[in-house]
């Protein structure tokens, strides 16, 4: 079944509200095996709404419309659907009585305009409201028996309120069951993201080019790339008969990708770089301390957003000045004077100082220049250190971008360095972060 979503509202086009309905509906459509092909947003304008609805009718089997079902003059979804489907509006007295009861039961006076919500296109099925006053509608795009040639099934418009809570309740109660019934078969569509760090998207595409080619003729498994904030994700999407088969297909594809990509893969699904680090530390019975300069506490903040991190995380020292590095972490003054605060020896001394300060087995440290001042170093230059029971490794990296981007990439990269060290437990394993913006 081919479906699309149309969100109605000029406020969305103006950026005054964020359209969360489409993303939620997209996930639910995938859950019930309905293929989503298009998503469109249109303002509260009759002619443009008619154009969008007409296009959707001609190319899709199901169109889910959110918004425009309220009582005000700009709520014209009913009118637009009536015109596109050739079904005149008529007052549904049962719905009118229900709307009036909603107001009287709450001790509120109802405006006459609220009765507009009881206007229903001829032949449509009403979805009674449970929470708000706006009923939903299931409107066949063409009269029975008049499906155009070449279409294996008719098109139905499912109009639901734009208020997210009302939309979700109505979709689960009425729309989803009708979609499954009309589709005739139950298919499960599931996706999983395999997350990588340390490889540019272009290099990852090269590594997986053979796998992409092998799946070109597959009708149940597809791959796609998603990149953002340095993490390159490989999204695996499968279509299966049920949940168990879908999970089996996902597991098999993830295993193949991990074999091809190697240790650049740090996790999958809901895993994050920090949650993986916490898990590895916990499994090994190790504790962690952090020393930060340019990241200003960001490493500690990422670690502590993982539930249960207190089992391994001892604390973080934000030593922003040279004096703080000496006073709190015991970094020797002579090292700071000879090499400067952004240097390999200082990063190593910070990590060792944090490990000793908090009595942990493991420590990581970050020092660098996020700008605008450079402290005698290059803008975007950073030194990242990992100390595991006295065995210290330091890498120099350089990140392009603004101050916030540099801080985020430094945080993720030092955690990835820790992750690799913990997984391999090789004292001096080389890690060469890229300088292309994706470390």
Q: Where are the beta strands (DSSP E) in 198-284?
A: 221-228, 231-240, 265-268
109-145, pLDDT tens digit by residue?
Answer: 777 777 788 889 999 999 998 877 789 999 999 876 5
299 lies in some domain: yes
In this structure, the answer to whether residues 246 and 297 fall within a common structural domain is: no
Distance (Å, whole) CA 351 – CA 394: 10
pTM above 0.75, yes or no: no
Q: Which CATH number covers residue 390?
A: 3.90.950.20
Residue range 64-73: mean pLDDT, rounded: 90
In this structure, the answer to whether residues 331 and 278 fall within a common structural domain is: yes
In this structure, the answer to whether residues 96 and 37 fall within a common structural domain is: yes
Residue range 312-325: mean pLDDT, rounded: 95
Which of the two residues, 84 and 380, has the higher pLDDT score? Answer: 84
What's the pLDDT score for residue 31? 80
Distance (Å, whole) CA 257 – CA 325: 42
In this structure, the answer to whether residues 110 and 230 fall within a common structural domain is: no
Q: Which CATH number covers residue 264?
A: 3.30.70.2860
Smallest Cα–Cα separation from 362: which of 326, 393, 390?
Answer: 390
Is a pLDDT exceeding 50 seen at residue 201? yes
333 lies in some domain: yes
Beta bridge partners of residue 367, listed in sequence order: 383
Residues, the chain? 439
432 lies in some domain: no
407 lies in some domain: yes
What's the pLDDT score for residue 162? 93
Q: Write down which residue in 164, 183, 202 finishes a domain.
A: 183
Q: Which CATH number covers residue 163?
A: 3.40.980.10
In this structure, the answer to whether residues 160 and 205 fall within a common structural domain is: no
In this structure, the answer to whether residues 245 and 278 fall within a common structural domain is: no
433 lies in some domain: no
437 lies in some domain: no
Total of domains in the chain? 3
How many CB atoms neighbour CB 263 within 10 A?
Answer: 16
In this structure, the answer to whether residues 237 and 374 fall within a common structural domain is: no
In this structure, the answer to whether residues 229 and 320 fall within a common structural domain is: no
| Cα 177 off chain centre by | 26
Residue range 11-37: mean pLDDT, rounded: 92
The DSSP symbol for 427 reads: T
Question: Measured between alpha carbons, how far is residue 195 from residues 192, 232, 276 in Å?
Answer: 10, 6, 11
Is a pLDDT exceeding 70 seen at residue 43? yes
Q: Write down which residue in 124, 157, 183 finishes a domain.
A: 183
Percentage of the chain modeled with pLDDT above 90: 66
In this structure, the answer to whether residues 252 and 239 fall within a common structural domain is: yes
In this structure, the answer to whether residues 255 and 402 fall within a common structural domain is: no
Residue range 173-180: mean pLDDT, rounded: 92
Distance (Å, whole) CA 68 – CA 199: 45
Residue range 196-212: mean pLDDT, rounded: 92
What domain range includes position 239?
189-268
Which of the two residues, 286 and 188, has the higher pLDDT score? Answer: 286
Is a pLDDT exceeding 60 seen at residue 344? yes
In this structure, the answer to whether residues 152 and 279 fall within a common structural domain is: no
Beta bridge partners of residue 66, listed in sequence order: 7, 160
Is a pLDDT exceeding 80 seen at residue 180? yes
80 lies in some domain: yes
21 lies in some domain: yes
In this structure, the answer to whether residues 177 and 286 fall within a common structural domain is: no
Beta bridge partners of residue 232, listed in sequence order: 196, 227
Q: Write down which residue in 219, 235, 268 finishes a domain.
A: 268
- Out of 63-72, 125-134, 370-379, 398-407, the most confident range is 63-72
């Amino acid at each position: 079944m081919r479906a699309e979503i149309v969100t109605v509202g000029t406020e969305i086009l103006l950026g005054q509200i964020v359209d969360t309905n489409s993303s939620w509906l997209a996930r639910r459509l995938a859950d019930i095996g309905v293929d989503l092909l298009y998503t469109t947003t249109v303002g509260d304008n009759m002619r443009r709404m008619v154009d969008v609805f007409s296009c959707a009718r001609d190319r899709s089997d199901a169109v889910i419309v959110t918004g425009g079902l309220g009582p005000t003059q700009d709520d014209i979804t009913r009118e637009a659907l009536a015109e596109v489907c050739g079904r005149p509006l008529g007052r549904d007295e049962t719905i009118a009585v229900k709307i009036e009861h909603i107001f009287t039961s709450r001790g509120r006076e109802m405006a006459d305009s609220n009765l507009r919500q009881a206007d229903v296109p001829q032949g449509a099925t009403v979805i009674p409201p449970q929470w708000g006053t706006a009923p939903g509608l299931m409107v066949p795009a063409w009269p029975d028996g008049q499906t155009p040639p070449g279409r294996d099934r008719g098109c139905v418009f499912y109009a639901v309120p734009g208020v997210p809570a009302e939309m979700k309740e109505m979709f689960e109660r009425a729309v989803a069951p009708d979609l499954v019934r009309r589709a005739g078969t139950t298919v499960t569509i599931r996706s999983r993201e395999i997350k990588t760090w340390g490889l540019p998207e272009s290099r990852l595409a090269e590594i997986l080019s053979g796998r992409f080619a092998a799946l070109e003729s597959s009708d149940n498994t597809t791959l796609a790339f998603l990149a953002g904030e340095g993490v390159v994700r490989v999204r695996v999407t499968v279509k299966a008969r049920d949940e168990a088969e879908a999970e089996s297909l996902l597991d098999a594809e993830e295993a193949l990708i991990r074999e091809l990509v190697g240790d650049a893969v740090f996790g999958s699904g809901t895993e994050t770089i920090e949650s993986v680090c916490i898990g590895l530390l916990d499994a090994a019975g190790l504790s962690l301390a952090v020393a930060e300069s340019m990241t200003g506490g960001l490493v500690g903040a990422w670690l502590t957003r993982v539930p249960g991190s207190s089992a391994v995380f001892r604390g973080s020292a934000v030593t922003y000045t040279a004096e703080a590095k000496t006073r709190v972490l015991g970094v020797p003054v002579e090292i700071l004077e000879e090499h400067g605060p952004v240097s390999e020896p200082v990063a190593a001394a910070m990590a060792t100082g944090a490990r000793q300060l908090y009595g942990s087995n493991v420590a990581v440290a970050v020092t660098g220049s996020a700008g605008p001042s450079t402290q005698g170093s290059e803008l975007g230059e950073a030194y990242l250190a990992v100390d595991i029971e006295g065995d210290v490794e330091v890498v120099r990296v350089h990140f392009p971008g603004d101050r916030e981007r540099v801080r985020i990439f430094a945080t993720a990269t030092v955690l990835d360095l820790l992750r690799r060290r913990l997984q391999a437990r090789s004292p001096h394993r080389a890690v060469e972060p890229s300088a292309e913006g994706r470390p």
